[in-house]
Amino acid sequence: MKLIANSITASSRQPIIYDNSGVEQASDAYYNLSEGPLHLKWSASGAYRHAVFKQGSNRPSFDIDTAVLFSDISIQGRAIRIYGWSSFSTFGTKTELWNKFNIPNSILTGNNNRILVAQANDSNSFRADWSTGYDALSMNFWYSTPNSSARKVFFGKSIDLGRPGFLNRQPLNRSTTIIKRQSLYHVTDVISLTFNNLDQTAINLLNSVRQLEDRPFFLYDENKEWLFEGCGYFIMQSKNIEWTRNDGYMINIETLKVKEY
């Protein structure tokens, strides 16, 4: 199982929407694309929209290896591209990092297969490094009409936690809301997980995630062994790391599943 943490907000506050010619498009909800609750979405008429994240002044370089699209409509049969710019001042000079046309249902995940997880090391990637040398990244929606619509465009760092040694899922029997960073989240399940035998590298990656306790993240179970939906959007309730001598580290985390609309 992988925890996909939102690492792009350290470098770029929010995406800007462009058409395929590099013309900025007006939008009133794109600010919610990179984090926050799921009940807001961005949409635009027509095809070929880029959600572009630009590295801000005096902000750290990108540190990402995974992108997640949580779509409001079916992605099957559509096309998604991911681009990087070494200098965004010239919109047309970009590098294609990931590309999949006519997306099959088999690579989609999440409830109703509305989530696409693209990784730098998968078969649709053209570059093993999505961070070095780029000052802007984008996800390009090659959707057909009537619209392009997304709840989340998420560039992040993937942390492989291995197979859980323990998982307990408890549905909440009433409507529950929590507030994190002044955002209101509706949550549906409490999921507790234990991961064993983790090495120092995994612990360092986990500890390096910016505001993991306050910002939502994705859990991705590619083979749907532990999460029946395969991938979901979560808020951290608690995290405890213990050193277990010969077996490395053990992590216990308690998460809340964010409601899908």
| Digitized pLDDT (tens) for each residue of the chain, 261 residues in all | 999 988 888 788 788 888 888 888 876 556 678 888 887 777 766 667 888 999 888 888 888 999 999 988 888 888 899 999 998 887 878 999 999 988 999 999 998 899 999 999 999 999 999 988 899 999 988 755 445 678 888 898 899 999 999 999 999 988 799 988 888 899 999 999 999 999 999 999 888 887 888 889 999 999 999 999 999 999 999 999 998 877 789 999 999 999 987
> What's the confidence (pLDDT) of residue 92?
78
Q: Give dist(CA 258, CA 94) in Å, integer.
A: 35
User: Does the global pTM surpass 0.85?
Assistant: yes
> What's the confidence (pLDDT) of residue 31?
65
Torsion of the alpha carbons at 22, 27, 31 and 36, rounded to the nearest 10: -130
Helix (H, G, I), strand (E, B) or coil at 207: helix
Contact status, residue 251 vs residue 40, Cβ threshold 8 Å: no
Structure tokens at 252: 């216990």
CATH architecture observed for domain 7-157:
Sandwich (2.60)
> What's the confidence (pLDDT) of residue 42?
76
> What's the confidence (pLDDT) of residue 29?
58
Q: Judging by beta carbons within 10 Å of its beta carbon (0-12, 13-18, 19+), is residue 158 exposed, middle or buried?
A: buried
> What's the confidence (pLDDT) of residue 249?
92
Other CB atoms closer than 10 Å to residue 190's CB: what's the count? 16
> What's the confidence (pLDDT) of residue 145?
46
The residue type at 155: F
State pLDDT tens for residues 221-252. 999 999 999 999 999 999 999 988 777 899 99
Helix (H, G, I), strand (E, B) or coil at 105: helix
Q: Give dist(CA 116, CA 103) in Å, integer.
A: 9
> What's the confidence (pLDDT) of residue 146?
45
> What's the confidence (pLDDT) of residue 143?
59
